[in-house]
A = this chain, B = another copy of it.
Amino acid sequence: MGELPAKVSIREVGPRDGLQNEDPVPTGAKIRLLDALSGTGVGRIEAVSFVHPKAIPQMADADEVWSGATQVDGVRYSALVPNSRGAQRALAAGFTEVEVVVSASDTHNRRNVNRSTAESLDDIAGLIALLHDAGATAEVIVATSFGCPYEGDVDPARVAGIVDRVVADGADRVAFGDTTGMGTPRRVRELVTAVRDRQPDVPMLLHFHNTRGTALANLLAALELGVTEFDASVGGLGGCPYAPGASGNVATEEVVHMLHDMGVDTGIDLDRLIEVAAYAEEIVGRQLPSGVLRAGPRTRLG
């Protein structure tokens, strides 16, 4: 095991990526969740997405949620947008950090947005310009970066090529999503290395799913390569992509629990975070796939 970074930056994605993949919950609960997360010490929160309410009813109240939540000093909030209409809504709501998504796999991208990866990249070039003109930063999230549920393996060189393109178009940051939990530590190493070889300077964030149990192993492999930015979802909010028990997003409290025990600082109060995970479980009304929520941290003795 190599040297680990002293500190990592967690972006909490439960309010957006998590709740977008659960049955709709009341606006008030979303606001309380956001406010509770803002009080955990987490440095970044993906708050909402500005998407068409018919396509994603879970986010139909994004404006109300955002205007109802308390923005805490020192927390960076971001929003995800699918197109220029969404970007304009995000800017109007006051967001200065905005994310856009493209799938590394052509088939996955077509199933999601009915266009090829190349076509989406053309759109994203325009979105980056729009966001920059308004003084916001643009992060490009590359979905299916560690494998595609339709095509199988995704060549790290293909993902690195996408990074080349979006960096040339002005992207401020990139993120790599393990959309259906197909990543393993080897693939993390291959992808991070492939991207770093070509774009050593672009900030990079990794987004792991625990569908096949590998999320924390993948995170460890990334840490050993010096990656210091990770998404995670409180309680593992984000639905069961296959069946009950098959989890999606890695739970923030599992990430923080492991990191803190390894001496890696996150700035997050774990006990407070676990309380928020219990609240997240309450608002979605089902047991969330979080071992640390169930068993408590290793420091809780019997």
Contact = CB atoms under 8 A, between A and B. Distances in A.
Interface of A: 1-2, 147, 149-152, 180-182, 184-187, 189, 210-217, 219-221, 224-225, 241-248, 250-251, 254, 257-258, 261-263, 287, 289-292, 294-299, 301-302
Contact of A210 (B225, B243, B248, B291): B291
A294 B184 contact: no
24 contacts: A1-B185, A1-B221, A150-B302, A180-B295, A181-B291, A184-B262, A185-B220, A186-B261, A186-B262, A186-B263, A211-B291, A212-B257, A212-B295, A212-B298, A213-B258, A213-B291, A214-B254, A216-B217, A217-B220, A217-B258, A220-B221, A241-B295, A242-B295, A246-B294
Contacts of A211: 291, 295
Contacts of A244: 287, 302
A214 B302 contact: no
Given A187-B261, A242-B291, 17 more contacts: A1-B189, A147-B298, A150-B301, A182-B298, A184-B258, A184-B298, A185-B258, A212-B254, A212-B257, A212-B292, A212-B298, A213-B250, A213-B254, A213-B290, A213-B292, A245-B294, A246-B294
Nearest to A240: B294
Contacts of A219: 217
B287 A224 contact: no
